[in-house]
Amino acid sequence: MTNQIAIGLAVLVVLFFGVDAVMLHGSASLFLAKEMMKLTEWMAFWR
C-alpha cells in the first residue's frame, strides 16, 4: 500500500465519521461497531 492510498483511505474514514456525527447523530457508527462485535464473536466461535 502506498502512502497516497493510505492517506486517501484515512481521509475517507474521517469524512465518514464526520458526516455520520453531523447528519446521522452517530447511528451508522454505532451500527458498524455492533456488527463488528458480532463478526468478532462469530470468528472466535470458528477458531
Q: What is the pLDDT of residues 1-47, one digit of tens each?
A: 899 999 999 999 999 999 999 998 999 999 999 999 999 999 987 77
pLDDT for the residue 5: 97
pLDDT for the residue 1: 85
pLDDT for the residue 29: 93
pLDDT for the residue 12: 97
Q: Is the alpha carbon torsion for 18, 20, 44, 46 positive or negative?
A: negative
Judge if pTM exceeds 0.85.
no
Whole-number Å distance between alpha carbons of 15 and 10: 9
Grid cell locating 33 = 461497531
pLDDT for the residue 14: 96
